[in-house]
Structure 1
Amino acid sequence: MTARATTDPNMYFQHSDEIWSDHPELVGGVLVATGITADAVVEPRIEAFTTLAKARLAAGTEADLPEIQAWRRTFSKMGLKPTRYRCASESLLRRFRKEGALPRIHPLVDLCNAISLAFAIPVAALDVDRISGHLEVRHAAGDENYLTLSGEPENPEPGEVTFVDAAGHAHARRWTNRQSGHSAVRDTTGTVLIIAEGVHASAATDVPRLIATLSEALSSVWPTTVRTAALSRPAPRFGFAVQPSGARDETHR
């Protein structure tokens, strides 16, 4: 565990220049929030967002949605079979369509999942205390350490897109396909880094709208001050430092 990460003034999140070069259509949104607890009531919010998801799925399946189609094209571009490796929002929508609901994990995760359903955009929520220094979306060297949600160690394939921190922890497999158990939100999580990424035609509008919606939802449920940023190739980095008292000094540069 890297509890010292919350006092590191050099913490930041970014996509590498190679990712922006390979995927110029990418739109990123980032949010950092403190004061998260595991006892919050989020069911009314979840119901509202899942109702929106049901309406979107009424005319077809998740595969018909432009957000999902765009991620499928991106996965194909990366050499992955998109019906074998699905982005996180497609997996959630597929399960939701078949089962009518998603399992409850943690209020913050449940809320992020519901918003991901409504927008059909992948949303990753990470425990900041489990991130060492900076976090970058980049191509893997192959020696990074990934931990599955069940606790099994893996290494990403060389060239695979993953989230890598300063200690070599891989916090995702195949970009938006699967998050790591190492930084998964848990009952002890107090500070979260949330990332939303879109590659579809209207992502420049939809991703900021998702982040604004999530920010409002978090602020209405937890006593927290939320900071957000939109990422682009000219402004790819979101820097933040979380102090032990819960105060934050953040910069977007």
Structure 2
Amino acid sequence: MRFQHSPAIWNDFPALVPAALYAEGITPEVSVADRVPAYAARAAARLATASESDLPEIQAWRRAFSRMGLKPTQYRCASESLLRRFRKEGALPSLHLLVDLCNAISIAYAVPIAVFDVSRIARYLEVRHATGDETYLTFSGETEHPAPGEVIFADAEGRAHARRWTNRQSGLSAVRDSTSNVLIVAEALHASAPADMDSLVATLTTELNALWPVTPKSAVLTAAEPAFDFAGD
């Protein structure tokens, strides 16, 4: 299997720094309760002196959303939405232990992180512009069709696993207790993204190693080396 961004995405967003990790053997018999607070505290410290919209990581995504023709205050990248909720409520809801961990790391770095159940992805996952023929399954079970030109995560069967780039994932490939093999994708556009993404990948790798007997495969991608090849179901 392969994860990549299309040449058009790289052309439109040359500052993009994506990272991808693949791990097998994820099980629900662990707890992340003692690992999440440190990342939440890091996010809280940043929000104590600035709102999420002032953070350079979020500002970069707002500019990207504007370039895509989306109103940034209507459609937010996932990390901004999480930070906004965290600032208002002081905590994030528990969804799935791996998602909870990745959400905590996401707000600590202010970078969108998506987690996909690889068994629900057909052959590859590419961030590209929609043709208008793709299908997107909402978490409530409804089927939508992204508009032509919208940036989506698409597989070989024309299924969109995320809409509006980093705005919202699909219910189709959301992780659940039966999920074993996962693809984790983080993307950034801000000035210090190259160094920050190296750190984020190291953090994710350390956490996965600590929780499960897994050795994730990972890569920080570039326009020159845009593809991440990994084994799959």
**How high is the TM-score relative to the length of structure 2?**
0.98
Distance, in Å, in 2 between the alignment partners of 1:80 and 1:161 is 11
Task: Structure 1: give runs of 5+ residues left out of the alignment.
Answer: 1-10, 244-253
Equivalent position of 1:250 in the other structure: none
Deviation at 1:25, TM superposition (A): 0.4
Equivalent position of 1:200 in the other structure: 190
Amino acid at match of 1:168: G
DSSP 3-state at the match of 1:171 = strand
Task: Structure 2: give runs of 5+ residues left out of the alignment.
Answer: none
Does residue 125 (structure 1) correspond to residue 119 (structure 2)? The answer is no
Deviation at 1:187, TM superposition (A): 0.7
Deviation at 1:225, TM superposition (A): 1.4
In the alignment, which of 28, 37, 56 is matched to residue 27 of structure 2?
Answer: 37
Distance, in Å, in 2 between the alignment partners of 1:39 and 1:55 is 31
Does residue 177 (structure 1) correspond to residue 167 (structure 2)? The answer is yes
In the alignment, which of 180, 201, 213 is matched to residue 203 of structure 2?
Answer: 213
Equivalent position of 2:43 in the other structure: 53
Does residue 116 (structure 1) correspond to residue 106 (structure 2)? The answer is yes
Kept in 2, the 8 Å contact 1:39–1:107? The answer is no
Distance, in Å, in 2 between the alignment partners of 1:39 and 1:114 is 19
In the alignment, which of 63, 69, 92 is matched to residue 79 of structure 1?
Answer: 69
Does residue 162 (structure 1) correspond to residue 129 (structure 2)? The answer is no
Identity %, equivalent residues: 63
Equivalent position of 1:136 in the other structure: 126
Does residue 187 (structure 1) correspond to residue 168 (structure 2)? The answer is no
Equivalent position of 2:218 in the other structure: 228
DSSP 3-state at the match of 2:36 = helix
Kept in 2, the 8 Å contact 1:127–1:183? The answer is yes
Equivalent position of 1:3 in the other structure: none
- List 4+ stretches of structure 1 deviating above 4 A: none
CA deviation map 1:165-199 (0-9, x unaligned): 00111000100000000000001000000000000
Distance, in Å, in 2 between the alignment partners of 1:27 and 1:37 is 29
Report the aligned-residue RMSD.
0.8
Kept in 1, the 8 Å contact 2:119–2:232? The answer is no
Deviation at 1:81, TM superposition (A): 0.2
Equivalent position of 2:143 in the other structure: 153
Equivalent position of 1:5 in the other structure: none
Trace 1:8-19 onto structure 2 (pairs within 5 A).
11-19=1-9
Kept in 2, the 8 Å contact 1:145–1:154? The answer is yes
Amino acid at match of 2:207: A
